[in-house]
Amino acid sequence: MGSSWRGRRERRRRDARQDRADDRRSPRWRRALLATVITAAVVVPLSAAARPEIPAPLPATLPKPTAANLDEIYAANSAVAAEAARMAAAHGDSHRAAADRELAAPNRHLLTFDGRGPGRVTEVFGDLGRADHVAVLVPGSDTSLDTYDRFRATAASLRRQLTGTAPHGTRTAVVAWLGYRTPDTVSTTVLTTGRADEAAPDLRAFIGRLRGVLAGATTVSLVCHSYGTVVCARAAAHLDIDDLALIGSPGTGTGTASALHTPARVWAARGKDDWVGEVPHVRSDLFGVTVGFGTDPVSPAFGARVFAAGKGGHSDYFSPGSVSLTNLARIVLGDTTEVTRA
């Protein structure tokens, strides 16, 4: 019995030494994982890389948007989208032609439209000029005119939730802002702030123009998903917004919420099945490039208001009936005391 007891004690000592060694190796393991991801992103061929540029007209020349001229702006952008559809069809790209044609429909409200390259579009759901609360959605990677329907679905879902839960007489609107060239999921660009740095000035300018449309008391909430959280973080210090919600974030490129230098309330959430939770939340210099986005926004160290997002995965934050969608609507409506915390 004494020999057996001594054997168990020795095994526990070996296990403890191994645990300490694993803890010391953890930072190196994370850096190695990032290096592996970057290498894979470099060598994996991208199907979109060989796709020829799709011809499209120049964006419409429009006046500064106001509550009074929104219908004029919507009509002008619809006409440009219809012309883009014709040009894409003549080019032999039926998929893009169909996407542009849908956007050109009379019941769509396009605040901006640019059919060139991957494309950019800003679509409004609701009466923007009379809204009491507005949510602006910023998407993550692999979002373009070709995949816009899935981003549009998230905006429409939030709009339905707001309509169904807002107090009687409260008017809401949702804006789907695809205003930047998003990175490909399998690429080096998705691991750096480069695309976000390019997008931030455009997001700042857009929020500035949006405020010119809205009444002075209207609240604006910025809801940012995945890589879109990096975009919002880069622009945050110069945005006139009330709330900033970061969902499914790989990190923001800043260490803390206070480092965003925004007076807005900063929120963060991640679903239990979201694969982003497995991404190392570090920033490292690899091959002369800074990759990764640092502190996990749902960690106590970041300092955001962490709210419950349920069991959903990376694409489930706007699923009807979900905990995350319910809480996002509460944030947009200003019902902050009703938001359930994680």
- Convert the pLDDT of each residue in 179-194 to its tens digit: 999 999 878 888 889 9
| Band of residue 14 on the pLDDT scale cut at 50, 70, 90 | low
pLDDT for 283 equals 72
| Band of residue 43 on the pLDDT scale cut at 50, 70, 90 | very low
Question: Which token pair is 23?
Answer: 């803890």
Residue 291 has pLDDT above 80, yes or no: no
Find the radius of gyration of the CA atoms of the chain: 23
pLDDT for 35 equals 43
- In this prediction, residues 132-161 reach a mean pLDDT of 98
- In this prediction, residues 294-312 reach a mean pLDDT of 97
Residue 30 has pLDDT above 70, yes or no: no
Residue 285 has pLDDT above 60, yes or no: yes
- In this prediction, residues 287-298 reach a mean pLDDT of 82
Q: Which helix (H) or strand (E) holds 152?
A: helix 148-165
Torsion, Cα of 333, 334, 338, 339 (10° steps): 90
Question: 255: Cβ–Cβ under 8 A, 6 or more apart, which residues?
Answer: 294, 295, 301, 302
Q: What percent of the chain has pLDDT over 90?
A: 76
Q: Select the more confidently predicted residue: 112 or 49.
A: 112
pLDDT for 187 equals 80
Query: pLDDT, tens digit, for every residue of 203-225?
Result: 999 999 999 999 999 999 999 99
Torsion, Cα of 309, 313, 316, 322 (10° steps): -40
pLDDT for 281 equals 80
From 194, 183, 307, select the one nearest 245 (Cα to Cα).
307
Residue 76 has pLDDT above 90, yes or no: yes
Question: 260: Cβ–Cβ under 8 A, 6 or more apart, which residues?
Answer: 233, 236, 237, 244, 252, 254, 266
pLDDT for 190 equals 85
pLDDT for 42 equals 34
pLDDT for 53 equals 84
HEC readout, 264-276: CEEEEECCCCCHH
Instruction: Round the average pLDDT of the chain to a whole number and report it.
Output: 88
- In this prediction, residues 94-119 reach a mean pLDDT of 97
Query: pLDDT, tens digit, for every residue of 220-279?
Result: 999 999 999 999 999 999 999 999 999 999 999 999 999 999 999 999 999 999 999 998
